[in-house]
Amino acid sequence: MTRSLPGVPRAHVLPLAVCLALGLHASAIAQRESAAHFRPSNVAPSATAGSVRVVKNCNDSGPDSLRDLLQQAQNGDTIDLSQLACSQISLTIGAIFTSLAPDLTVTGPGNHPFVIDAGNIDRALVHNGAGRMTIQDLTIKNGLLTTSAKGGGCIYGFGSISLVRSVLTSCRTNTTGSTPATGGAIRAAGDVTLQSSSVINSNVNAAGSHSAGAGIFASTVNLTKSVVSGNRATSNASYSVGGGIYATSQITVHDSTVSGNYAGEGGGMFSKGGATLFDSTVSGNYAVAAAAVEALANARIYNSTIARNTGDDDNFPAGLNVGSSVVTLQSSIVANNVIGAVEFDLGTAVASTVSGSNNLVMAHAAQTAVPIDTISADPKLGPLQNNGGPTQTHALAPNSPAIDKGNNLQALDFDQRGAPRLQLRQTDIGAFELVDAIFTSGFEL
């Protein structure tokens, strides 16, 4: 039988007033910065909207530099760095504020790494437009925000931001006094979307207030074949929440890994709305409360693995914590998540019955009833590592009880790595589908 624990998780530790304050805070930032940064009157008229503007040098400013072309850009323009002979632009005079063009694309060469280094002086990019800025084939690093702007250590967007085959790393948002700190690497008033991209090793810290979203802070966050890892949300005086991701609305994750993030609450991800996972892994995250995934409205987890996350507060599960009774689990592993030395994988803030089937959950809260066919045995997972594909996974040992016990009700063609589903007699439980031809060492049996 599944071992139920007496601890009953609270819905969340953020009071309603604080949640509302975060939302109002985001609106205030957008209004203040929009008024403060506008298209300079001395910028020359732009070419036809939708044109390609080629960056011709690696200077931080001046004609045909990245800064120059971003300030001139019109709606639909592409800023193209692919013809540069250099591999890095170093920002020495502060962040680049784009024009008010709603939609922009900034693209690197694609055939070799290209870096925009903010030099720990300021943020790298601020998109003034209300549409979407797409960053493609670039690495952006060493952004540092310490001003009252509060959001986005490397990138801030008044609209939405997309990363495609790009990396944000070593970004920081640090505030003093009573100023909250949000978005260690990236913050957007709209959505943040990652496609084959990474947000890693970034921090957010508030000296005298709360902090949120060390990796990503946005309304809606969407990940596909991406990584959010090694990000830390801390506060010297108050709470910190959302080590990897903080969303004021929804989080949706496909074929991705969220690992090694840290916060006071919601170490891997925190959503004020819902969280939906497909073919994804959440592993190795830490928080005092709700180490891996916390969603206040609902959670829907399909063919995914939430494992080896650790926490301290036994009122919260270290795996999946949901603030409502709407929880769906299908063919997923929620196991090996511990509070101290005690297994505690799944809980809800109200008495509820989890819907779904073909899952493996080792320990859940007493008031949270899991489906009757749920397996409670140790899944026998290998370490989080490269088992093929673009993101790290936990492989199943050959004698794992998860093998041939899952379902594929979502008609997923592949597992998280890109290996075909239904390899043996039946789909395996979790994000990893065991393939006979692949042998992986290091299993903890």
pLDDT at res. 424: 58
In whole angstroms, give the CA distance from residue 424 to residue 430.
Answer: 15
The phi-psi region of residue 69 (left if phi > 0; otherwise alpha if psi is between -120 and 50; otherwise beta) is alpha
Q: What are phi and psi of 71, to 5 degrees?
A: -70, -25
pLDDT at res. 49: 56
Contact 321, 309 (CB under 8 A): no
Contact 57, 66 (CB under 8 A): no
In whole angstroms, give the CA distance from residue 242 to residue 223.
Answer: 15
Query: For 390-438, what is each residue's pLDDT tens digit?
Result: 999 999 999 999 999 999 999 999 999 999 997 656 899 999 999 865 4
Query: For 311-332, what is each residue's pLDDT tens digit?
Result: 999 999 999 999 998 999 999 9
Contact 199, 179 (CB under 8 A): no
pLDDT at res. 123: 97
Residues in the chain with pLDDT values less than 70: 1-49, 148, 150, 423-425, 436-445
pLDDT at res. 423: 63
In whole angstroms, give the CA distance from residue 216 to residue 180.
Answer: 15
Helices (H) and strands (E) in the chain, counts: 2, 49
pLDDT at res. 112: 84
Question: What residue type is assigned to position 330 of the chain?
Answer: Q
Query: For 98-148, what is each residue's pLDDT tens digit?
Result: 988 899 999 999 888 999 999 999 999 999 999 999 999 999 999 999 976
pLDDT at res. 436: 63
